[in-house]
Amino acid sequence: MNLEDVVAVRNMFGVFQKMDIFQGGGSGRRALTEYLNQHVFPLLKRTYTEDVRKALCKAASEQTYLAGWMAYDNGEHGVAQRFLIQSLRLAEESGDAALGAHVLAGMADQATLVRHPAEGRRLAQAGRHGLAKTTSNACLADLWTLEARALAVLGESKAAARAVHAAQTAYAKVDLAEEPEWAAFIDPAYLGGEWANTFRDMGQPDHAEEHAQASIRHAERQNRARRGAMSQAVVAVSHLQRNDLEAAHAAGVRTLNLAGQVKSSRCVDAVQDIQRRMIPFGKNSLVADFNERARSLARAA
């Protein structure tokens, strides 16, 4: 095996990444896992020259990370954690510090989602420490964003706002030509959506909606239903935080329409979050209508 053969392995990453972005993690996770088990992981058991070994570990790390991310998006958190840990080890063996930091970002995201925000903050900080050895402004923006998410959940609003500002500063310096392929979707659709989530958790609906709407505009141009659904859900919650049930219902319906286009447990979670936040509005007909529409999504999940 030589470096050209590794390129062939790496080319598969883009195929599966687009499948995740546009169809949701549940649509391609099994296919990627089968590809890893049957083709990539067996290659790692062979002996190569040092440059080929490092290149192969890098390609395997990228794809293993993606398998973990897909499992995470599909609600398979134990599987996701195992893949992410394996990806981190491969990134370390490859010597790619930016890739290692990217994996830590994924681990931070998962930790905060499963209600371990202190661990999410620690992992995001560890990722930023790893970037001291290299440069990836996209990854740095992501890590600051994920630290902001964790801080918001921890109730540290001022620190969370500062982290969002640091993320924005880092992203302003991004040159896509200098970024790795895995950074392609660390973009305004994704970052704006995560900043919206941060301000939602801080109880600042105006800022949350502003960032969510920016995310939605970018997601629409790219036909990214998953990101659009999650950001529409933030808009719905922002309206609920302002006690505007009618506007929340309209945004909630848009969330459902987009969520039905992908296989993503995170979209289902976002819908369920809207439902929980509608409970204080009692037996209002709009609440009943939204819950009835949401049942169809739950049955399809």
Q: What is the mean pLDDT of residues 6-35?
A: 88
- Last residue of one domain, picked from the residues 44, 79, 95: 95
The predicted pLDDT at position 2 comes to 73
Residue 209 belongs to a domain: yes
- Look at residue 298 and tell me whether its pLDDT is greater than 90: no
Residue 72 within a domain = yes
What average pLDDT score do residues 224-238 get?
98
User: What average pLDDT is seen over the chain?
Assistant: 94
Domain co-membership, 23 together with 133: no
Q: Is residue 225 part of a domain?
A: yes
Task: Supply the pLDDT for residue 131.
Answer: 93
Selection from 26, 194, 24 nearest residue 108 by Cα: 194
Same domain, yes or no: 208 and 273:
yes
Task: Check whether residue 166 and residue 252 sit in a common domain.
Answer: no
Looking at residues 237-255, what average pLDDT do you find? 98
Whether residues 143 and 87 share a domain: the answer is no
b/e 239-261 (16+ beta carbons within 10 angstroms → b): bbbeeebeebbbbbbbbbebbbb
pLDDT band at 14 (very low <50, low <70, confident <90, very high): confident
User: pLDDT tier at 283 (50, 70, 90 boundaries)?
Assistant: very high
The total of structural domains in the chain comes to 3
CB 14 within 8 A of CB 181: yes
The 10s digit of each residue's pLDDT in 81-101 is 999 999 999 999 999 999 999
Specify the pLDDT at position 274: 98
Whether residues 102 and 87 fall in one domain = no
Question: What DSSP string runs through 106-118?
Answer: HHHHHHHHTT-HH
C-alpha distance from residue 74 to each of 110, 201, 263 (Å): 12, 23, 7
User: What average pLDDT score do residues 143-149 get?
Assistant: 98
Q: Is the pLDDT of residue 301 over 60?
A: no
CATH number for the domain harbouring residue 272: 1.25.40.10
Q: Is 77 found in the same domain as 115?
A: no
Q: What is the mean pLDDT of residues 148-156?
A: 98
Structure token digits, residue 66? 């993606």
Q: Which residue has the higher pLDDT, 275 or 22?
A: 275
pLDDT (average), residues 105-110:
98
Closest to 69 (Cα-Cα) out of 105, 106, 115, 111: 106
- Where do we find the tokens 């896992």? 33
What pLDDT, on the 0 to 100 scale, is given for residue 300?
Answer: 57
- Domain final residue pick, 63, 95, 127: 95
114 and 137 co-located in one domain: yes
From 142, 177, 212, give the residue that closes a domain: 177
Residues 119 and 226 in one domain: no
Above pLDDT 90, what percent of the chain? 84
Same domain, residue pair 194 and 296:
yes
Mean local confidence (pLDDT), 197-219: 98
52 belongs to a structural domain: yes
Residue 299, pLDDT score: 64
pTM: 0.94
- Per-residue burial over 265-296, b if 16 or more Cβ lie within 10 Å, else e, is bbbbebbebbeebbeeeeeeebbeebbebbee
- Tell me whether residue 182 is in a domain: no
Bigger pLDDT: 168 or 296? Answer: 168
Range of 255's domain? 187-301
- Give residue 187's pLDDT band: very low, low, confident or very high (50, 70, 90): very high
On whether both 211 and 103 belong to a single domain, the answer is no
- Statement to judge: residues 147 and 56 lie in one domain: no
Are the CB atoms for 29 and 267 separated by under 8 Å? no
Q: Is the pLDDT of residue 123 over 70?
A: yes
| Portion of the chain with pLDDT greater than 70, in percent | 99
On whether both 29 and 50 belong to a single domain, the answer is: yes
